[in-house]
Amino acid sequence: MNMQAQLQAAIEAAQQHVAPAAPAVDDTSPVAPHTPPAANDDASSWKQVADVLPHVEAPKVKIKSLAEKAMLIKLKMSTMGTTKLDRDETDKFGGSHNVYKSLFSGKDNRVKKARSAYNKVYTHLKENTVPWEKGVDMVHSMQYTTIMAELRGLVDDAYAAVADLVANWDQEVQADIAFRSACAANSGKGHVVSIHDYPTVDELQDKYSIDIQVSPVPKPNDFDPRHPVTDEERASLQRMLDEATTNGGKHVIKQMLTPMEKAVANLSTPVKDVTNFYSSIITNMVDVADRMRRANVSDDVEVARRISDLTSLSTKYAANTGILRNSQTARDAAVADISSLMGKMKGLV
């Protein structure tokens, strides 16, 4: 292939994000054939062009704005409070401090089940998003449909738990009064509850609510043209967007570090002293890497690289948890690998 043909092939390959064909080589030649770069290897393709024609510039990569990559979700929830001011006990202290009694403090009741169902909505949102500001989170636009479907399913579960509580409210109240009275009798203290400490059924239903509010990420050029905005004011919004992106990347790293630190602490125990071994110390790392991969809206290549590193590392050890339970050598190697990756991550937060 002559020089002109090589140049044309390299340019077309770079423009189309496809590796150029290797130049023909005589089978009898002692020189090994040239191996073309992998498909979509833009840097390699354009390097070939630069080698032949240095003044040809590589195309500029357009980084998506935060508004294109994310959406905002605000979760507003309310549940029934389970503490009640104990006026009799408070009066004994002359008003110096308040004493409260806990309702539904038993281990198994419908109030706890309803609260648990509500907590799952909150937890799922927080585990699959990054913070925007207090009370508002960013969900990756490519994951929005999936996350919202999952949240709606959890909301349905929460409402079902409340409906079950409402249908059995009188039974739950009487059971809790009996439980609290027994506790008071055994301790010789007050804190006895009465029917007046509990809301009515109608009041109960008003105490539970879930509202998921969705909005777009603002853009500096989206100000109403009827209201003049200075360049500095637009710049201030851009700074806020940049900070949100940076903080989102830091959040991703912090989320991954938490189970890694727990894994190192657990695996640092000598195998001879291990009484219980839970594979979750490894699978939790697999899980957080997957969640943060989907939640990450940062353009920081180092953040993306560390997510990939943790994915590879955790999946490798997830396939060998039995060895980690019984082999000191394997445990030492895992601690060294995880600690090394943690060292690289900590510089990003």
Q: What is 291-342 written as a DSSP string? A: HHHHH-----HHHHHHHHHHHHHHHHHHTTHHHHHH-HHHHHHHHHHHHHHH
String of DSSP letters for 178-217: HHHHHHHHHHT------GGGS--HHHHHHT-EEEEEEEEP
Q: How many CA atoms lie within 13 A of 43 on its CB side?
A: 0
In whole angstroms, what is the distance from residue 141 CA to residue 170 CA? 45
Backbone angles phi, psi at 237, to 5 degrees: -70, -40
Backbone angles phi, psi at 74, to 5 degrees: -115, 125
Cβ–Cβ under 8 Å, residues 31 and 25: yes
pLDDT at 182: 86
Q: Which long-range contacts (CB under 8 A, 24 or more apart) does 329-333 make?
A: 331/267, 331/268, 331/271
Nearest Cα to Cα of residue 313 among 250, 264, 247: 264
pLDDT at 189: 65
pLDDT at 99: 75
Positive or negative, the CA dihedral 162, 167, 169, 174 is: negative
Please list, in sequence order, all residues whose beta carbon lies within 8 angstroms of the beta carbon of residue 195, skipping any fewer than 6 positions away.
173, 177
pLDDT at 51: 52
Please list, in sequence order, all residues whose beta carbon lies within 8 angstroms of the beta carbon of residue 346, skipping any fewer than 6 positions away.
257
pLDDT at 91: 72
Strands in 70-78's sheet, in edge-to-edge order, are 130-133, 136-140, 70-78, 209-216
Domain boundaries, the chain: 3-52, 66-216, 231-346
Secondary structure letter of residue 227 according to DSSP: S
List, for the chain, all residue ranges whose pLDDT scores fall below the cut of 70. Answer: 1-63, 95, 188-191
pLDDT at 34: 40
Question: What tokens were used for 296?
Answer: 């990450």
Question: Where do we find the tokens 């207090």?
Answer: 134
Secondary structure letter of residue 196 according to DSSP: G
In whole angstroms, what is the distance from residue 339 CA to residue 263 CA? 10
pLDDT at 36: 40
pLDDT at 215: 96
pLDDT at 192: 76
